[in-house]
Amino acid sequence: MARPREFDENAVLDATIQCFWRYGYEATSVKDLTEKTGVTVASLYNAYGDKRGLFRAALDRYVNDSVADRIRRCEALPPLEAIHAFFDEILRRSLNDRQHKGCMLVNSALEVAPHDAEFQKVIAGVLVRIEGFFLDRVKAGQADGTVNPSLSADVLARHLLGVLMGVRVLARVCPEKAMLEGAIAPALSQLAVTECDRNQRRKRSDRRLAHG
């Protein structure tokens, strides 16, 4: 039977996230973790196994509270609005990040994933989930006429994911509004429906009605 936790797990994981998020996996020492959480090494290791296990728990918590939560909220919006809202929040978080921490998921993809097959798989799975959100919203927007149909939904979804990753890296070293907006704006403009697209859609609709 697992031993009951002798500490507030939510508080400990929140503090742990802040450590790993700010300093990265390698630079975060066990001393940093005990000082930040106020929990002894023995208690942390009894609960999570080791530093790696604690990092995995912290990353899972970060993904659920940040990435997955953002997706859940944006999924409730109309397709094109959902994508804009997603990037609006990314821009706002990046510009308000005074410590230039960036995104813990992206930081981990750069630092940990290349050397750790398990974390590579975990992080890749989250990126697939984000791409899936973009793909779903693009397809829905193309179906209701609010997203440009000239490019395939798969291509647009991958492009949006790439822009997101790039923006989060840029935010760590050059968190300037003009820079980040300049990276995001062209990607969002590709989603816009042109007058030509609207005319083609009307013609297709008229042909269907004529042959209906």
Number of domains in the chain: 1
Domain-embedded: residue 54: no
Residue 86 belongs to some domain of the structure: yes
What mean pLDDT, rounded, does the chain reach?
91
Domain that holds residue 88: 66-210
Residue 10 CB partners (closer than 8 Å, separation 6+): none
In a domain, 58, yes or no: no
pLDDT tens across 113-168, in order? Answer: 999 999 999 999 999 999 999 999 999 999 999 999 999 999 999 999 999 999 99
For position 114, which CATH number holds?
A: 1.10.357.10
Higher per-residue confidence, 61 vs 5: 61
Do 138 and 147 touch, CB atoms closer than 8 A?
yes
Note whether residue 164 is domain-resident. Answer: yes
- pLDDT tens profile 50-98: 999 999 999 999 999 999 999 999 999 999 999 999 999 999 999 999 8
Residue 94 lies in a domain: yes
Domain annotation covers residue 120: yes
pTM score, whole prediction: 0.87
49 lies in some domain: no
Q: What is the mean pLDDT of residues 18-45?
A: 94
d(Cα 87, Cα 171) in Å, to the nearest integer?
13
Res. 196: pLDDT tops 90: no
Burial of 88 (0-12, 13-18, 19+ CB in 10 A): middle
The answer as to whether 202 is a domain residue is: yes
